[in-house]
Each structure stands twice: as C-alpha cells, then as structure tokens.
Amino acid sequence: MVAALSVILLFQLAGEVVSRAAHLPLPGPVLGMVAMVVALSLSPRLNALVRPTAQGLLQHLSLLFVPAGVGVVAHMPVLAEYGTALALALVGSTLVAIVVGAVTFTLVARLVGSRADD
C-alpha cells in the first residue's frame, strides 16, 4: 500500500509540476490522472500494484468532498442573495445537459451502427 500510495502521489506531484511549469489550464491531479491512464495501459505490473489502493480510495470518494462542502457556511449571504438564480441554473443546466448528452449519444450510435451488447 505504501508503494501504491507513493506512485499515486508521485503522479500527482509530476502533474502539479508540469501544470505550473507549462501554465496549463488542467489542474495537476487531472494531468496526473491522464498520465496514469497511459502508464496503467503500458504496465500490467503497475496496474496490479495501484489497483487495490485506488479502489479503496475511490470507495470513499464522497467523504473527501465534506470539508469543502462545509465551506457553505462561509457563503450563506451569497446563497441567500442568489439562491433562486443558482437553483434555477443548477436544475436547468443539469437536466438539459443530461438530455442533450443522452440524445446525442443515441443518435450518433444509431448513425454509426454502434450497438449495446446487452
């Protein structure tokens, strides 16, 4: 687990360094993730090493949002003032985006003859 965690942290570290050095819009951890996808595809050994730790961490992914979520206490005035605007923006955009995404997927899949296997 220590080895796996070290590898994960090193990928994040490399991502942060590259993101800052090259002034990229991608956050360091996202770059680290992209590099990790490539590395996992190239090395089954790395895959076997990282997988259990990664799955363990991802199982509790929602716990990790809690500290930032509690930050809502610092934004009560903004939320009170713009509550309706934000609520409408969130509900509207999320529902429209799901429909647009699902319809686009279905139409393009039909167009290129890509079928689900189940």
Q: Least distance from C-beta 22 to another protein, angstroms?
A: 13
CB of 78 to another protein, least distance (A): 7
Beta carbons of 5 and 56 less than 8 angstroms apart: no
Q: Are 9 and 3 contacting, i.e. CB atoms less than 8 angstroms apart?
A: no
Output the CA–CA distances (angstroms, integers) from residue 96 to 84, 88, 105, 109, in the order listed: 18, 12, 14, 20
Look at the alpha carbons of 68, 70, 76, 79 in this order and tell me if their dihedral is positive or negative. Answer: positive
Please report whether residue 84 would count as binding another protein according to CB under 8 A: yes
Six-digit token pair at 101?
Answer: 């995404």
Q: Are 18 and 31 in contact (CB under 8 A)?
A: yes
Binding mask 96-115 for another protein (x = CB under 8 A): xxxxxxxxxxx-xx-xx-x-
Site for another protein in 18-77 (CB under 8 A): 25-30, 32-34, 36-37, 40-41, 47, 50-51, 53-55, 57-58, 61-75
Q: Which of 3, 17, 48, 94 binds another protein (CB under 8 A)?
A: 94
Q: Which of 18/26 has CB closer to another protein?
A: 26
Interface size with another protein, residues (CB under 8 A) = 74
Q: How far is the CB of 26 from another protein (least distance, A)?
A: 5
